[in-house]
Amino acid sequence: MMLRRLTIWIACLTVAMLTMAMVLASAAHAEEGTAKGMEREVTVDGGAAPLYGSLLAPAVARPGPAVLLIAGSGPTDRDGNSTVPGVRPANLKLIADGLAAAGVTSLRYDKRAIAKSAPAAVREADMRFTTAIDDAVLFARLLKAQPGVTCVILLGHSEGALVAALAAQKIETCGVIEVSGAGRPFGVVIREQLAAQNLPPPLMAQIETGLTDLEHGRQIANIPGLEALFRPSVQPYLISQLTLDPAKALAAVKAPVLILQGDNDVQVSVQDARLLAAARPDARLVIVPGMNHVLKSAPNDRAGNIATYADPGRPLAPGVTQTIVAFVKSA
């Protein structure tokens, strides 16, 4: 029963199945017309197999910045949907459609080992957080090479916000947009989120001891009931991620920054957004009233809030698209 209740939370905390990518980008595939513009599938070299994404160009394309959309944690695809039951908000697809309608090109992609990028998976024990950063850099380079793209803005959602900040230190970019991104190290956030589940005190004591060991680079014995989060094969990835500080990462970004956060987010708080803003006093901080973690307007009760995660037809919260478009066009 406890595991069932934790399914969505663990999905938002666990790692994506990622691996190192080679440095060349490449090939476009079949084009598909949409109401917002022309969408075509593209790939980058993922080593064992290609990584796949969707390049969406507006119907009337003009030279200007383009946006790379970077998904959050867990088994999340290019549209922002997860293989976890009840997590299909399609928020990245909705952002891409909004950008296209405003005349802005975007690229979103299936994370390594997820959806069409599944064949690029390698052994879980070989995965590290840096893999996600390297993959984002490859897609950013592909996007920059497109006709009419003058520069690339990195937009990361949730864990993808940290990926965007770290990728921006490896490539030239004209902006970083952090959406629903944590402002504290992952170890701090995971403790807070699990504590909110009212787990039994003995289990929380095990979690605390285990996280402390992982933060010091020591692997631990599995914690019964939480294998999805602490299984031995995923621990090297956790060790590579737990002590990363999102605020410090954002402070090192040279490009302009937009921080977008909802005040009805039950996973990442407004406090996180303010910590990020404190690290970058020149950043634009926008708090969206009523918006939850998947960028939808949501009721205040937890059950109703989480229910919106399963509704891809629910639009983005008012002001989200407009705020992103305004920042992109200012670049």
Q: What is the pLDDT of residue 28?
A: 35
169 domain residue, yes or no: yes
* Domain assignment present for 218: no
Instruction: Choose between 4 and 63: higher pLDDT.
Output: 63
Is residue 278 in some structural domain?
yes
Q: Which residue has the higher pLDDT, 328 or 26?
A: 328
pLDDT at 25 over 60: no
- Look at residue 209 and tell me if it is in a domain: no
- Residue 280 in any domain: the answer is yes
| Token pair in block for residue 36 | 């917002």
Do residues 14 and 229 touch, judged by C-beta distance below 8 A? yes
What Cα–Cα distance (Å) separates residue 247 from each residue in 69, 178, 267, 273? 20, 11, 17, 9
Quote the number of domains for the chain: 1
Structural domain includes residue 214: no
Query: What is the average pLDDT across 224-241?
Result: 89
Of the candidates 211, 239, 45, 21, which has an alpha carbon nearest to the alpha carbon of residue 125?
A: 239
Question: What pLDDT score does 226 carry?
Answer: 83
Question: CB-based burial of residue 254 (10 Å sphere; 0-12 exposed, 13-18 middle, 19+ buried)?
Answer: exposed
Of 115, 118, 120, 20, nearest in space to 77 by CA: 115
pLDDT at 88: 98
Query: Residue 182's closest CA among 302, 267, 89, 74?
Result: 267
pLDDT band at 111 (very low <50, low <70, confident <90, very high): very high
Alpha helices in 112-158 (DSSP H): 129-144
pLDDT attached to residue 13: 46
Bridge partner residues of 106 (DSSP): 56, 67
- pLDDT for res 122: 85
* d(C-alpha 10, C-alpha 77), whole Å: 17
Per-residue confidence at 109, pLDDT binned at 50, 70, 90?
A: very high
Please write the tens of the pLDDT for every residue from 46-71: 999 999 999 999 988 899 999 999 99
Alpha carbons 259 and 111: distance in angstroms, whole number = 23
Q: Where in the sequence is the domain holding 75, given as residue range(s)? A: 2-188+238-330
pLDDT score of 9 more than 50: no
Q: Kindly tell me if the per-residue pLDDT of 16 is higher than 50.
A: no
CA 167, CA 164: separation in Å to the nearest integer? 5
Domain harbouring 105, CATH code: 3.40.50.1820
329 vs 219: CA distance, rounded Å: 46
Grouping H, G, I as helix, E, B as strand and the rest as coil, residue 25 is: strand
The answer to whether position 224 is within a domain reads no
Flag whether 211 is in a domain: no
Neighbour count for residue 192 (Cβ, 10 Å): 14
